[in-house]
Structure 1
Amino acid sequence: MAVRSPGFGRSGAALRGRARDKLLDTALRLFVERGYVGVRVEDIAKAAGISRATFYKHFSEREEILAELFARLLGREPASPPSGSAAETLPRIRSLLIDTATQMVANEELARFVYTLPIRHAALVGEGARPPVLEAVERMVGEGVAAGAVRADVPPELITAHIGRAFEAAIRDWAEDRVHDVAAHVGLLVDLAIEGARDPR
């Protein structure tokens, strides 16, 4: 009976991971060059130097690659909110979103691709299209409501959605070259959104 080396499984997983990364990198390059709609599975496989059959060992369809690229950019885990009291909820949300946007645009090619897609990405990747940072924002909004810093007459999920739309609009403006300083623009649009969330009392 043959005995498998303890490291065999890990090295196989590492090879599969590198192959997936190569496919993702190749797909992104082609999407940027030709547009998402103009790239087929066959194009990605050929440019990556593999067969279609090998492509399908890693991804079931092109949209799965798109979903993975979104996850690379938007993250998979909710962000950790900056420290501070619940009374300082809105400035903390602003700071968190500016930091998140700055990290996202550090991967400029991917960020510009994702935020200039001519199709609505939520339709392709479902709930994964919501940046995980908004989960942290929603928790912070709830804490702010409890502390009286955020208005209680509007559901926290509605406030979060409003702030999230401002955040996404700011990044789209940057991706489409309407603004150059993404941090300042995120700050401006989020300020406009959170002013309406402030408890007026």
Structure 2
Amino acid sequence: MVDMRGPNRRQLYAEQTRADLVAAARKLFVDNGFADTSVEAITAAAQVSKGTFYHHFSDKKAMFAELYTELLQRVGALADAASEAIRATPGEPALTAVSNLTHAFLRRTIDDPLHRELMAQAPSVLVEQYRHINDTVAQPPIERLLTVLAERGGVEPDVPVATVARLLLAVLCEGNQIIAAAADREDALARTFHTITLLMSGLATDGVSAHG
């Protein structure tokens, strides 16, 4: 028999507590960096005990990994939206959607401090797990996007989709690092975007549309 009563009060409290811990860590990782954020600081900001923290997370690295995974899921959603845009606009140059995706990702490095800091800190915090999360969360939507492009005839027919997807993701991640470290982030965004556009144009059968 299916229980139709929904979550009870204890479940709702646990979910809210977990959300409070994540919100506290999100802010502290941005403001202070992962290394300078302690479990004690997270629990103090969330107004819960350390025992409560360890009930939800094995350590602060696990919490960081969850936040980074959520970030890449949003990137994946952008890639899937780009795939839909290609299907919806058959008359537009196929790689325009890739160009727009690239610009949207790089723009977040300036506009979204959480995106900027998690992307910048992830390689050193997560180490081997960083590549695994990239490969399993972000790369598949990019592969789907490139597959749509190949089906549309927008990229050269012999383009190895998986390899290009992995390289494009790596370039986007490195672009974040360049922009995040720049004194003039707007200028760094323009230069990085232009460079990636030039790299991608070599794959196109109809050219890449620059983002203004």
TM-score, length-scaled by structure 2: 0.72
User: CA contact under 8 A between 2:147 and 2:161: conserved in structure 1?
Assistant: yes
Higher helix proportion (structure 1 or 2) = 2
CA apart distance, 1:119: 0.5
Match of 2:124 in 1: 119
Q: In the TM superposition, what whole-angstrom CA distance separates every residue of 1:33-78 from its partner, at most 9, and x where no partner exists?
A: 4431233323322343222211112212211110122134333553
Instruction: Specify which structure has the bigger relative contact order, considering alpha-carbon pairs within 8 angstroms and separated by 6 or more residues.
Output: 2
Deviations 1:58-117 (A, max 9, x none): 212211110122134333553322242398331111112323444565432x12321321
* 8 Å contact from structure 1 (residues 20, 58) kept in 2: yes
Show the counterpart of 1:19. 17
Task: Answer whether contact 1:116 1:175 (CA < 8 A) is retained.
Answer: yes
Where does residue 156 of structure 1 map in the other structure?
A: 161
Q: 1:131 to 1:95 in 2, by over 3 A?
A: farther
Kindly indicate whether residue 193 of structure 2 is the aligned counterpart of residue 194 of structure 1.
Answer: no
Calculate percent identity across the aligned residue pairs: 22
1:93 corresponds to: 98
Structure 1: gaps spanning 5 or more residues: none
1:165 Cα deviation (Å)?
2.2
From the superposition, tell whether residues 183 and 57 of structure 1 become closer, same or farther in structure 2 (CA, over 3 Å). Answer: same
How many residue pairs match? The answer is 195
Segments of structure 2 that go 5 or more residues without pairing to the other structure are 207-212
CA RMSD of aligned residues (A): 3.3
* Change in CA separation of 1:99 and 1:130 when aligned onto 2, cut-off 3 Å: farther
